[in-house]
Every structure is written in C-alpha cells, then in structure tokens.
Amino acid sequence: MITITDLEKYYATEEVRTIALNKLSFKVNEGEFVAIMGPSGCGKSTLLNILGLLDDPDGGSFVFNGIEVAGFNERKRADLRKHNIGFVFQSFNLIDELTVFENVELPLIYTGVKPAERKERVDAVLEKMQIMHRRKHFPQQLSGGQQQRVAVARAVINNPKLILADEPTGNLDSSNGNEVMDLLTELNETGTTIIMVTHSEHDAKYSHRIIRMLDGQKVTENVLSEYISK
Amino acid sequence: MILNYFKIALRNLWKDRTFTFLNVIGLSTAFCAAFLLGMFAIFGLSFDQFHENIGSIYEVYTNSQTAKGTEISNANPIPFAEALKEEVPGVKKITRVANGGPLVTFGEKTLKLDVLWADRDFFDIFSFPVVGGSKINPLQNKSSIAITRTTAQKIFGEMNAVGQTVTMRRDNEDVPFVVSAVIEDIPEASSFQFDAILNFTDLPASFYAANKDRWDAHNHPVYLQLDAETSAAKFEKATAAFSNLHFADDIATAKRDGAKPNSDGEYRQIHLLPFEDISFTDFNSNSSKVNKTLPYLILGIAFLILFIASVNFINMGIAKGSQRLREIGMRKTLGASKGQLFLQFWGESIFVFSLSVFFGGLLALLLLDKFQTLFETKASFALIASPGIVLGLLLSLLLITLIAGGYPALLMSKLDTLLALKGKLQHTGKNKVRDVLMAVQFCIAILLISGTLVLWSQLDFMRTKDLGFNKEQVITLPLNTKKDRAQLLQLLRNALEGKPGIISVTAADNILGLGKDGRSSTIVMGFDYKGREVKTNLLNVDYDYPKTLDIELIQGRAFNKQYASDSLSIVINEAMAKEFGEKDPLSVRFLLNDSIQYSVIGVVKDYNFQGLNKTIEPISYFMNPSSPKYYAFIKVAPNNLSQSYDRVKEVWNTLEPDTEFLGSFLDENIDRTLKEERKMTTMISAGSILAIILSCIGLFAISLLVVNQKRKEIGIRKVVGASTSTITVLLSKQFLKLVVFAFLIATPLSWYLTTQWLQNYAYHINLSVWIFLAAGGIAFVIALATISVRTIQAALQNPVDSLKTE
Ligand SMILES: Nc1ncnc2c1ncn2[C@@H]1O[C@H](COP(=O)(O)OP(=O)(O)OP(=O)(O)O)[C@@H](O)[C@H]1O
Ligand SMILES: [Mg+2]
C-alpha cells in the first residue's frame, strides 16, 4: 500500500539546516499495523505528516496505492487525503466549538455526503465507540479518553484505508490508553491499515511490526513474535 | 454545510463575547454615523436635482473688466432677459426672478410671505407642479398669485383657494391679487423656497416701473433654459455682440478708466452657471466659486469613520484567527479547501456586519430628529431614498464586508496546515499590517481633532472679534408694516427716546449680520470721480447712525438736523476715503446722475459691515429722508439688556399689533451669519470624537490580546524582579509609539489643510503649534488611558497566577 524510497526532508531555519528525514525507505502492506519508535526529534512526526499527505518530501519517492504522490500540490493531496486517510493526534485536535456529533460529522461534510446519510453513519460510529450518550456534549465536557475516542471516531467515519496515529495515548493514563489501543486493534482487524508513532513499548506491542528510527534513518525493523505466530 | 458554518459562527462569536460586543458596538456606531452623515451629504448634493430640465438650466452672470480687475455680478437690468432671448439664438425659455417678503392680507389675516416674482417661462423651466387652478400657467396674467398648498391652507383653511382675492401692500397701497393656482409644496432640496409667486411686472414701481427701460440698473437674477442643440460654451461666445451693443456705455467707462480686456479681447462677458451648482455657489464681487466642500467633507468624515471601524474589525479578526489556529489546521487536515475556509470565516464577518448595519440603521432612525435639529437640516432618509442610492448603499456595504471581513478570512484560509495544527503563526509580519492600520487610525483621529480645534478657534474668533461697532447693546428691528415706514419710525422714536434704558434710535435700509427675517442685501453703486469710476457700498441712514452703533467718527461730522443741506452730504469710511485718494477727504465733491453735487462731511473708522471672509470694502452713508428705511437700530443701556429688549417689544406691539416683532441684538445677528461654520464645526467635532472613541475600542481590543499572549512573559519578568511600572511601560510602549508616529504624519497634513481652509477668511486666526500639540496630546492621553486599563491590571497580577495559566 505504501512504498517509500530514499525519502528526504530538510528544515532550513536561518543558519541551521536540519535533516529531519535522511534517505528513509520502507514498505507498509495493506492491513498491517505498524509502530514507529525512536528518540525525540528523530523525525517520526515529520514522517507521519508526509505519509498523511499533510507535507511534501524534499527528495525520494512515495508511492501510495500505486500512485507516485511526491510532488503533488496541496489541492491534489487534500483530495486524496480526505477520502483515504484518517488522523489521530496526541492532543486530540477536536474543534472546541463543535459538539461530539458535529466533530465526527465534519469529514463527511468535506467529502460532500448528504445530511441524512451523515446522521446515520455518525450515529453508527458513535454507537460503536460507545460515546453515543455524549453526542450533544462539547469536547471540554469530556475526559481525555473520551475525547480520544471521539477523535478515533472522526478518523474512521470516512472508512479510510489508512489511519495515522501520532502518539495517540501520549496524553492519556494507562487504562484510557489501553482502551484506545483496543479500538485501534479492532479497526485493524476489520482491514484498516494503521501506522502509529509511539514512545511506549507497551503500546508498540499491539502492532505487528516496529520500525525504529534514529536521526531520520531507519535503524531496525522487527516483526513481533505474536504476529508471526498468528 | 452552511448550517454548520452558521452554528460555529454563532458559537465562536459567543465564546469571544467581549470582541463580538466591541465589534458590534464599534461598527454600529460607525454605520449610524455614516448613515446620518451620508444622508446629509447626499441631501446637499441632491439640491435642485428634481427639476426635469436640470441639465439645460443656467443662471446668467457677467464678468466685467474694470480698472481693478474682473468683477462678477448676477444682477441684470430689467430689459435684459427679453433682449437676450430675442437677440442671441439658443435660448428656449428665460425668466427674471426677484424675491421679497411683503405682507399679504385676506380678511382679518395678515401674513408675511416669502414671495417670488417671475416671468411666465418660470413654470416651463422649473418643475413646480400645479395641483389646482390654472394648469396652463399660473403666471399668465398680471395681478394673479399662485400659492403653495401649505400657504393656501394657512390663509384659506379648508376653503378652495383658487379664485379668491388677497391684497398685498405695494407702493403704500393695498393691491388686490386673484389666486390663479395652487402649487405643490416646494421640495426641501430646492434652492428656490417661496410661499407664493407673482408676475414679475407686479413688482413695486421703484423696482420694476422705474427701471423698465434702463440698462444701467441691475437688480435681479435671470435664469434660462438652452435649446437641446446649444451648448453653454457656444452660447456664451455668441453673446459678445449683445454685450457690446447694450452695455456700450459701461464698456466705454471701463476703457476710459484703464480696464484691460479679457483674453478674448472683450470687456464684458456673459457666462452661464449650471443651475445644478447654484446651491454651492457663492457670488461675491470678484468670484463665483462653486464650493462643494461641506458635503464632500462630510462624506469624507463618514468614510473615515467607517474606515476606522473596519480596521478594528480587521485587526480583531486577525487577532482572533491566531486563537483558532488548531481549528483551521484540523479542518484542513480533514480536507477543507481554501475556498470553503474563506467562505466560513467571511460568513462570520457578514453576520457581524449585518447585525451592525441593522443596529446602526436603527440607531440612525432614532437619532434622526436630534440630528436634524443639531445640524439645522431638513435632510431625511425618505428624501434621498431612490433605487440608485439604495443599490449604491448595498454595494458599498458588500464591498466593506468583502474587504474588512475578507482580508482576515483570506489570511486564515491561506495558513499552512501543519503550522496551524501546531498552533503557531506562520510569520510575525502580520503585526506589521496591524501596526500600520492602527497608526492610520490614529492619524485620522489626530487629523480630525486638530481640525476641530482650528475650527473652534476660528469660530470663536469670528464671534468675539471687535467688528468696529457695538454689537452687544444694539437691537435691530425689521420695520415690517402696512403703514408708512417713515411714520412708523417716527412713532417708534417718540415712544422710545428718553425712556429708561434706551440710549438712542436710528434706522437704515440695510441690516448688519442676519436678522430674524433672514434677509440680507448688498447695494453697490458706481460713479465717476475725476475721470475714473469709483465703487462704493451704499447705505441710506437716518440721523445718529454712527452714534447708535458706536462707529467711531475720525474726521468731520455726522448728519445733523441743524444742517438742511445734509441730504446732499455723505459720510464715508476709511476705505472709501482711500478710494477717493484725496489728502483731505472732507474736500471731496462729486456729481451723481450728472447733475446733483454731493460732498463728503465725515469719515468713520473702518468696520466689518460684511462677513469676516471679506476685507472691508468702501461704504458711503446717504441721508435721503425719502428713501425707505427697512431696519431700526436701537441702542440700549448695558445693564438689563433683556428688560430693554422687552420694552422695545412692548412698544412695537402697541404700534403694530398685527405684525410679528422680529427684533434681535446685533451679536445674535452676527452669530446667525456663522451658521455654515457652526455646522461644519459641529460635524467635525462629532466626527473626531467618534474617530478617537472607535480607534480606542480597537486599541483596547488589541491590548487585551497582547496582554493575554504575554501573560507568561509578564509572570516570568516579575519573578525575576521587574516592577509593576516597568512592565506597564513595556506593554504600553509599542502602542504609544504608533500614536507618536501617527502624530508625526498627521500634523503636516493637518497644517496644510487647515491653512487652506483659513484662506477663505480675510480675517482669521494664526495657526499655532500648540493647536497641533494639543491634538496629539489629547490622542496620546486617551490612548494611554485606554491601554492602561489592561496593562496595569496585568502588571499588578500575582506572577504565580499568570504562570499557572500556561
Ligand atoms: N517546522 C520545523 N522547522 C524546523 N525544524 C523542524 C520543524 N519541524 C521539525 N523540525 C525538526 O525536525 C526534526 C524532526 O522533528 P519531528 O517533529 O519529526 O521529531 P519527532 O521524532 O516527532 O520528535 P518527538 O518524539 O519529540 O515528537 C527535529 O530536529 C525538529 O527540530
Ligand atoms: Mg512528534
């Protein structure tokens, strides 16, 4: 599903030039659950942003579903993004002025789904995430775990093929974190590809494969034993 | 999707209540002011536009070359209009017009009416619709009178006016007139304002009959309508032969005195002034300036106020945008396009604007009455409402929302997705836009404040300047009467002279300033003296004129009952003495009408008998007992002015029980001539107050934001030992710098503009640096006070609290 080859990304700030990604290459197959780990500043978020088509690489190739997308302009990326990719962030990034229902509904609005169908689909997802009873609440009125569940609901509402999660449990305590991890696993089992950045070895165990990075490069890649056994 | 936008707009506006409130208040006030001022200006500009033929109507005026330069006059001789129409091709219709305020009687009722005398063509040229009676032409017959609907009601009540006979006092007898027609009331936006109109030939004999065939007595304006094929320029050229034929004598005199011909080689040139410009034209002897300053100044102020409020909106919009970065980033991540985001944010602006336009409009309607009284205007929304104006209004509102609402919306929709998600602003350069806009706001405010101060000073100067006569103690009284004026004056004298509080009584045929009757006139006479023409203002006075008005006699004597020959003597002012150019002005003898010799018996000190916009012209007093005196002047004792006024009123009411007492002190009359200036001063004062308030609303909002953004910085600085005052200074400095910058830009501009304006006045104040420093100081202090509200509070805060919030 995803093939990156010699991917490069630089940040130039005044005098200093930071190499965030240094000729990074790997592959992710459809239906995989991949965890990306590494010390702070090694380029994990940068990578995820590029994979999520929020950012454009400075070099190398990025093939998404058989299409070379490196060099796509903002418009084309946005179009591909809104139909194929869902995002879950560490800080939830829910819109404070919208209710739970409206936050989850938002991607459907931007992909032009009719109101009646929207309601049906949002209700179904909220039901599945067990936050239906909170549908009229605003984000500030929810706990962190609930907020992240809403964020996951929003990420899956469009039935994306790929979900990108940047430290989804970073702001949560362990029990809430486990709940979110279970949700992701469930999604993965229904066929959604998941790429997750994490600092937690515990969370990484939920995945099939861990890619370890250092200074913008891949250092190791280990397939988890449980997965092999499956 | 629209619903989603609408919902989030409302929630956002509610969340930022303070800002929304400040925005709506500021914009509503600005719209209210803009509506009222715009209405006033458009009303002014729409004057006389209701005439169907407006594009082809002109007033005739003449430029004549004299030894002293070009003189302009719109007064014409009686035979002029008819001859012009017959002899110069291109005139479709032409009319002479004179106006006056005679007393009209019907049964028991006597009213003073504003009357026009005009020729038949008047109703063909101008659009004053007839609603009853002679539809063909109300001025068809001599001795007929057409009156307006309201006047008809006043005189006849419910009775049918047409066919009734009223009498009018003329040449000391009551002359009957038959009402031939009732015309629609004159629109407010009309230069001609009258209650009744009569045939031009029905003017008093001294005006009409005596001058019927004379080409040297100029006493009325002439209006004409040109053929469709004739242009004004072409017509003006074609009048050369006409002028040379009929004014041969004047031209010969001018040549003899050494006048130079104009660039076309002519000594007299007839010109046409478009009637559309009449209400903006000020005819005086050496210019006919079309002056649209007031309406455009007011439109300008309206625009500036809207600009200031819009800038507030833009600045608050940008500032608020920086607090919504995550929302913007998330929406983009989820696939929102730039267009969708722009529409969303712009939609929020439109919502705020619509609300403000609504409240502003409502406020304007509520304040309309007060506005009309304050600015002495009849302007109202109904009067100017037309499809064009409404469309223009809607378009300008749309344009304002597009710019003021669209600019922040555009900035937000263009934000980089990733940076927005991180909650960072792309670059700090946006503050530059904000700073420039705020500096411009204060520039406008300081400009208007200094303008206000200059206008105030000049107005005060004009009101209090010593004009060379006693304006505090002298009551002027128009002698409106059906009796013989001379006789009434005598009765008045007998009743008043020697009474306590009354010092002296005199009369003249012209007033000083503007009386309660609202009339003023200028009579200028030219005659030959030692082979050249001299010109002088002419005033027919009664005995004791200089004494009553405290006009200083510096040479010779005033008129005296002891000298029978005084009817052939004149008293002149210094300017006239200079005109004669004799070492001893008292030696001057000259002939009038080629036969009667007059001699100068006294010289009075120069005094401002006209407005302060004019230098003092020559004036000569004549003492002709038979010439009518229209105004009495009564000097009263300085103490108990109002008691003396009441005494004069009492005497008048016993002598003339049927006519209203219109006496007023001279200082009131002078005040009345300053109406335009007062209006302008009030407008610009109101404008500057609004400008500074609105600028400060914007400043307050921005200071709120900046302080909020800097809470942490303030906390840390306090922890490491900064004092409250250093922090206040730190926070205030960046804003006060803008005010100082604005002051530096505004001052030269204001200096230039006010200097230009003061040129309109022959007597004016000298601009002092202090006026501008004061304007800058006022703006500075108000701005400081505004930001201090928040900065001091922030600086006083316990640093622990400010650190916790991060
Ligand atoms: N907008 C930017 N401008 C300049 N440098 C940047 C920018 N974003 C990231 N970097 C730099 O690129 C490098 C990689 O950053 P990135 O955010 O990808 O790290 P990360 O692995 O996600 O770290 P963390 O685990 O702390 O989130 C870092 O050295 C960072 O300083
Ligand atoms: Mg990161």
Task: Out of B145-154, B256-265, B301-310, B333-342, pick the least confident.
Answer: B256-265
Nearest CA to ligand 1 atom 19: A41
Cβ of residue B4 closer than 8 Å to a chain A Cβ:
yes
Query: For residue A96, what is the nearest residue in chain B, using CA coordinates?
Result: B327
How is residue B791 written in tokens? 């900065």
Average pLDDT, chain A: 89
Residue B805 has pLDDT above 50, yes or no: no
User: What's residue A11's pLDDT?
Assistant: 87
B131 in helix, strand or coil? strand
B161 in helix, strand or coil? coil
Number of neighbouring beta carbons within 10 Å of residue B707: 21
When CB atoms are compared, the residue of A81, A95, A105 closest to B335 is A81
Share above pLDDT 70 across residues of chain A, in percent, rounded to a whole number:
97
Which residues in B667-706 are b (16+ Cβ under 10 Å) and which e?
Answer: bbbbbbbbeebbbbbbbbbbbbebbbbbbbbbbbbbbbbb
Residue B430 has pLDDT above 60, yes or no: no
* Residues 6 or more apart in contact with residue B642 via CB below 8 angstroms: none
- Between CA B7 and CA B4 the distance in angstroms is 5
Atom of ligand 1 nearest to the CA of B422: 1
For ion ligand 2, residues whose CB falls within 5 Å: A 45
Atom of ligand 1 nearest to the CA of A21: 14
Atom of ligand 1 nearest to the CA of A38: 21
* Residues 6 or more apart in contact with residue B43 via CB below 8 angstroms: B188, B189, B377, B378, B379, B380, B383, B384
How is residue B605 written in tokens? 């000190």
When CB atoms are compared, the residue of B8, B332, B417 closest to A98 is B8
Residue B614 has pLDDT above 60, yes or no: yes
User: What's residue B484's pLDDT?
Assistant: 81
User: What's residue B429's pLDDT?
Assistant: 46
Side by side, the strands of the sheet bearing A67-68 are A16-28, A2-13, A59-64, A67-68
**Interface contact flag, B332 A97, Cβ < 8 Å:** no
- Between CA A159 and CA A128 the distance in angstroms is 14
User: What's residue B591's pLDDT?
Assistant: 85
pLDDT digits (tens, 9 = 90+) for B459-481: 999 988 899 999 999 999 988 87
Q: Is the dihedral of CA B64, B69, B70, B73 positive or negative?
A: negative
Cβ of residue A141 closer than 8 Å to a chain B Cβ:
no
Ligand nearest to the CA of A11: 1
Residue B674 has pLDDT above 90, yes or no: no
Task: Out of A147-161, B512-526, B628-642, pick the least confident.
Answer: B512-526
The count of C-alpha atoms lying within 13 angstroms of the C-alpha of B680, restricted to the half-sphere facing its C-beta, is 22
Q: Is A112 left (phi over 0), alpha (psi -120 to 50) or beta?
A: left
Residue B129 near residue B184, CB atoms below 8 Å:
yes
User: What's residue B801's pLDDT?
Assistant: 66
Cβ of residue A55 closer than 8 Å to a chain B Cβ:
yes
Q: How far is CA B539 from CA B522, B597, B606, B620, B631, in A?
A: 9, 18, 14, 6, 11
User: What's residue B157's pLDDT?
Assistant: 86
**What ipTM describes this predicted complex?**
0.84
User: What's residue A61's pLDDT?
Assistant: 94
How is residue B759 written in tokens? 């040129």
* CA A71 to chain CA centroid, nearest Å: 21
Residue A227 has pLDDT above 60, yes or no: no
Closest by Cα among B349, B328, B329, B336 to B407: B349
* Residues of chain B contacting A80 with CB distance shorter than 8 Å: none
- Between CA B28 and CA B539 the distance in angstroms is 54
Residue B477 near residue B509, CB atoms below 8 Å:
no
B387 in helix, strand or coil? helix
User: What's residue B271's pLDDT?
Assistant: 92
Report residue B421: phi and psi, to 5°: -60, -40
Predicted confidence band of residue B247 (pLDDT cuts 50, 70, 90): very high
Range B367-381 average pLDDT: 85
**Interface contact flag, B335 A93, Cβ < 8 Å:** no
Nearest CA to ligand 1 atom 31: A41
In DSSP terms, A3 is beta-bridged to A27, A63
How is residue B403 written in tokens? 């710019």
Report whether residue A84 contacts ligand 1, using a CB cutoff of 6 Å: no
pLDDT digits (tens, 9 = 90+) for A11-39: 887 778 888 999 999 999 999 999 999 99
B62 in helix, strand or coil? strand
Higher pLDDT, B42 or A229: B42
When CB atoms are compared, the residue of B326, B330, B335 closest to A82 is B335
Report whether residue A41 contacts ligand 1, using a CB cutoff of 6 Å: yes
pLDDT digits (tens, 9 = 90+) for B760-797: 888 999 999 999 999 999 999 999 998 888 888 888 87
User: What's residue B541's pLDDT?
Assistant: 92
Please tell me the distance between residue A35's alpha carbon and the centre of ligand 2 in angstroms. Answer: 13
Range B417-421 average pLDDT: 81
Environment class of residue A61 by beta-carbon count within 10 Å: exposed (0-12), middle (13-18) or buried (19+)? middle
The minimum CA-CA distance between A16 and chain B, rounded to whole Å, is 18
Q: How far is CA B215 from CA B77, B79, B531, in A?
A: 5, 7, 21
Closest by Cα among B768, B759, B760, B675 to B454: B768
Return residues 2-41 of A near B (CB < 8 Å).
Answer: none
Task: Out of A51-60, B520-529, B599-608, B781-790, pick the least confident.
Answer: B520-529
How is residue B628 written in tokens? 């009518």
Share above pLDDT 70 across residues of chain B, in percent, rounded to a whole number:
96
Residue A225 has pLDDT above 80, yes or no: no
Report whether residue A216 contacts ligand 1, using a CB cutoff of 6 Å: no
Average pLDDT, chain B: 86
User: What's residue B626's pLDDT?
Assistant: 78
How is residue A188 written in tokens? 């993965």
Query: What share of residues in chain B are helix, strand, coil (percent, to 5)?
Result: 50, 20, 30
Range B750-758 average pLDDT: 92
* Residues of chain B contacting A105 with CB distance shorter than 8 Å: 4
When CB atoms are compared, the residue of B8, B11, B335 closest to A107 is B335
**Interface contact flag, B335 A154, Cβ < 8 Å:** no
When CB atoms are compared, the residue of A87, A96, A109 closest to B1 is A109
User: What's residue A230's pLDDT?
Assistant: 42
Residue B146 near residue B181, CB atoms below 8 Å:
yes
Share above pLDDT 90 across residues of chain B, in percent, rounded to a whole number:
38
Range B664-672 average pLDDT: 90
Range B720-741 average pLDDT: 84
* Residues of chain B contacting A82 with CB distance shorter than 8 Å: 334-335
Closest by Cα among B745, B719, B742, B707 to B799: B719
pLDDT digits (tens, 9 = 90+) for B138-173: 887 788 899 999 999 988 888 888 888 999 888 778
**HEC-encoded secondary structure of chain A:** CEEEEEEEEEEEECCEEEEEEEEEEEEECCCCEEEEECCCCCCHHHHHHHHCCCCCCCEEEEEECCEECCCCCHHHHHHHHHHHEEEEECCCCCCCCCCHHHHHHHHHHHCCCCHHHHHHHHHHHHHHHCCHHHCCCCHHHCCHHHHHHHHHHHHHCCCCCEEEEECCCCCCCHHHHHHHHHHHHHHHHCCCEEEEECCCHHHHCCCCEEEEEECCEEEEEEECHHHHHC
Range B721-736 average pLDDT: 83
Range B406-410 average pLDDT: 87
**Interface contact flag, A82 B334, Cβ < 8 Å:** yes
Please tell me the distance between residue B253's alpha carbon and the centre of ligand 2 in angstroms. Answer: 99
